[in-house]
A = this chain, B = another copy of it.
Amino acid sequence: MSSTTPLAPDELHSSTGFLLSMLGAQSRRRFTQALEQLALRPAHYGALMTLASSGPAPQHQLARSVGIDPRNFVMTLDALEERGWVERRPDPQDRRRHQVELTPAGQALLSQLRELGSQAERDFLAPLTQHEQGTLHALLFKLYEGAAE
């Protein structure tokens, strides 16, 4: 057996959890590389895209939707605010809260982000047919919603 023999499916690779963990990391790595051209990280992308969908929102809600601990989300928002893409505004209803919203510059960035994200996703999912991609997304979404964490 030569050293370049492809690894046969073994016990580890028959684990769905292992495959999820590997592919999740790989997907994230690829996406991180694609975002480098805009000097952004996945957390930045997530915050901007969530704001685009949900409109202005308090920090903790944004953080939850992006899947980041609110404590680790502070510096992410700092960076976006420094670059003029989001603004934190005091919430008159609850003065503890900061309503975060996209600036016009942030809005203008969205189309680039969408193009970049969808291209990275197309590349990554290329080994699957269109139909398989749809099935995969539906299953992952069901799992994501059903997982209590």
Q: List chain A positions with a Cβ less than 8 A from chain B.
A: 3, 7, 9-28, 30-31, 42, 46, 49-50, 52-54, 58, 61, 64-67, 114, 117, 120-121, 124-128, 132-133, 135-137, 139-147, 149
Contact = CB atoms under 8 A, between A and B. Distances in A.
B135 A3 contact: no
A121 B16 contact: yes
Q: How many copies does the complex hold?
A: 2
B140 A127 contact: no
A20 B20 CA distance: 7
Given A10-B50, A22-B144, 17 more contacts: A11-B49, A12-B49, A12-B65, A13-B144, A14-B137, A17-B27, A17-B124, A17-B125, A19-B141, A20-B27, A21-B42, A22-B67, A24-B24, A24-B25, A127-B143, A128-B142, A136-B139
